[in-house]
Amino acid sequence: MPLAYDYPLLSAFWTMLWIFLWVMWFFLLFKIVFDIFRDDSLSGWGKTGWLLFVIVLPFLGVLVYLIARGKDMGRRDAEQVRARQQMFDSYVRETASGGGRPSPTDELVRLSEMRARGEITQEEFQRAKNLVLTDNAPVGRAASVPHT
């Protein structure tokens, strides 16, 4: 029965190093397989050839793939990151703006400014204010909005 003191520190280090290298190897292998499928410039036969080469001769296949297509692999990664960032930015802008529709507060401020400049009368202001409040009231509360 092996005990902890029977397994020297250097052996533990080498074991952890080999485990780390195997994990990194599988990470690289899967990254290359996903890159083969993601590449739009390769034909179906090209993808099949690279995939067979990487699966049948994994160490040589990965090494040759990195030498032959490593720069393009980095470019595709950068393009994908840039496209995802643009999609996220547009989503944030759309969500923050409320989908292009002004908020009820913005509409009330605009109506108040128009009334202060004399562009609309007090009665028109009240009607527009009631419309804004009624349109934006939660379901079932539209009838309970006071008309002042």
Among residues 71, 59, 69, 68, the alpha carbon closest in space to that of 28 is found at 59
pTM above 0.85, yes or no: no
Phi-psi region at 99: left, alpha or beta (left = phi > 0; alpha = psi -120 to 50)? left
What pLDDT, in 10s, does the model give residues 23-65? 999 999 999 999 999 888 889 999 999 999 999 998 999 999 9
What pLDDT, in 10s, does the model give residues 1-18? 665 566 777 788 888 999
Angle at 81 between CA 78 and CA 82, to 5 degrees: 85
